[in-house]
Amino acid sequence: SKVLSKKVLVAVGAFVNSRKLLPAGADGQHVTLEVTGWKTQTVQMEIGEGDAARLQGMPSVIFRDEKRWCYLLPPIQYPDGKTIIKLGANTIQSLTDGGGRELPTHEEVVQWYRGEGDVDLKEMNLGMLHEIVPDLTPLNVRSNTCVTAHTPTTLPFIGPVLRQSGPLTVATGGNGYAAKSSDEI
């Protein structure tokens, strides 16, 4: 079937080159962007009422030292009644060169999302969470795999894909910098 629109925004992160989502150029080939998916992972810790009360008013945090970086969201109470504090992190090396965490193909991105993730990265993330917010008493801990979309310039691609594409715009390549805000963006 056909869908008509005056404007289209393609914002699919690391999946931007996975399908023929972008138009064909003058040569007839579909456009691909210099975007590579990189593995990352989050830790979500369910906390009790005491920890939630103690952390009331906590801001979102972005932390970086010589070897690692993270974003940390304040406790959020979800519709199921659980209060979760979330941290996403990786090594500094992974920010600069992928750190061996590149996912160059659609199949590798899908496999990473469907997998259990990296146990060492989960433990690093959990350790950072306890370091930044000491004395937490977790009720439950889980980890999710994520993929960040990276560009060679570390700047995102935001704009028309081709001059002749008219109202087709792409927004991708956040380079991991907006992960903490991605739901809202």
Backbone angles phi, psi at 127, to 5 degrees: -60, -40
- The residue assigned the tokens 């629109």 is 5
What confidence score (pLDDT) does residue 64 get?
85
- The residue assigned the tokens 């992974």 is 94
Question: How many C-beta neighbours within 10 Å does residue 74 have?
Answer: 16
pTM: 0.78
Residues of the chain whose pLDDT is less than 50?
none
d(CA 160, CA 148): 21
What confidence score (pLDDT) does residue 3 get?
81
Nearest to 164 by CA among 23, 1, 13, 33: 23
Report which DSSP code applies to 137.
-
What confidence score (pLDDT) does residue 142 get?
93
Nearest to 109 by CA among 2, 12, 3: 12
What confidence score (pLDDT) does residue 180 get?
60
Cα–Cα distance list, 11 to 25, 52, 78, 162, 170 (Å): 19, 34, 26, 16, 6
What confidence score (pLDDT) does residue 69 get?
83
